Copies of this chain bind each other. A is one copy, B any other.
């Protein structure tokens, strides 16, 4: 091959677009293919939802500070987050592991403890478990299966002008938790009796190590009779995920900085590390919260169930963050990073 284009030149989204452009569908049951949180298959009286994720040691997790049991929990949340982002109910999970010689049976059992306990917590059946050797570290291939009533499917592409942009909980905490863990790892490297300083940081650590699956939000939406016009899970950072909604829906978005919740613990950690909490919120990722849009008239209904904030609205074009002073920052997404 003569030409060599680096993946970093076009980014992960550009790559997927290039790889999957012009795909034709041959099976009538295929409703949604590449380009949303999960694939949608028509199963007769309902839709089934599918999503596969790859989690690689050293890229997605670091076992020096992430206990295997917590990792197991997070694997389930990461996989099922794509199902609930389509307004679906998680049902089944398959896990395939690539395991290097460093790991013992007991290690993998600890990982599975976390997987099984998360499956129990969210009423998910573990229906596939495959293991294979790997040359380097631990690799986890996880597939999520869910379902949704046909009239309750939510995609990324339905946001319309004047719709309200809502998010759950607060953002950036997981990212600051990661920075705290990194700081302690470096500070204690080689120390005979490492005693990391985690006092007062339980919240951001939990958000990083043991995130919640916001299945409660999906249930609340149903209870309130709300079908969002669009939805995405916040895993790549607010900016990147907001841009996905804009792109799929062919719209713009105005978000108001002072309305986006950032926890006090997140701000405190950012201060301590001389980091910017707004960067953590915009680009940090790993929040596993939901962003969704609803028509203006559903404002009171949405605010009614608590823990949801309206942070902006949909416009015809341009995705911007409005500062308290009235300035406008364009939302931009960072690219594909090779460590």
Q: Which residues of A contact B (CB under 8 A)?
A: 1, 3-7, 9-10, 12, 15-16, 18-20, 23, 25-27, 29-30, 32-34, 38-39, 41, 43-46, 48, 50-54, 56-60, 91-92, 94-101, 103-110, 112, 116, 120, 123-137, 139, 141-143, 145, 147, 336-339
Contact = CB atoms under 8 A, between A and B. Distances in A.
B143 A337 contact: no
A172 to B, nearest CB: 22
Contacts of A54: 96-98, 130, 132, 139, 141
Contacts of A131: 7, 12, 15-16, 19, 336
Nearest to A337: B133
A109 B105 CA distance: 37
Given A4-B104, A34-B126, A41-B145, 14 more contacts: A7-B99, A7-B131, A10-B105, A20-B129, A30-B92, A44-B46, A52-B141, A52-B142, A56-B132, A56-B139, A131-B336, A133-B337, A141-B141, A143-B143
A53 B141 contact: yes
Contact of A133 (B26, B51, B101, B338): B338
B141 A39 contact: no
A114 B43 CA distance: 28
20 contacts: A5-B104, A6-B105, A7-B99, A7-B104, A9-B105, A10-B105, A16-B130, A19-B129, A20-B129, A26-B124, A27-B123, A30-B91, A32-B127, A41-B92, A50-B128, A54-B132, A56-B135, A96-B141, A133-B338, A135-B339
Given A7-B108, A30-B91, A143-B94, A128 B59 contact: no
A4 B139 contact: no
A51 B1 contact: no
B98 A50 contact: no
Interface centre among A104, A132, A141, A336 (most CB of B within 10 A): A141
A234 B141 CA distance: 22
Nearest to A90: B27
A116 B25 CA distance: 11
A62 to B, nearest CB: 12
Nearest to A34: B129
A43 to B, nearest CB: 4
Contact of A59 (B19, B38, B133): B133
A103 to B, nearest CB: 7
A279 to B, nearest CB: 20
Nearest to A96: B54
Contacts of A128: 33-34, 38-39, 50-52
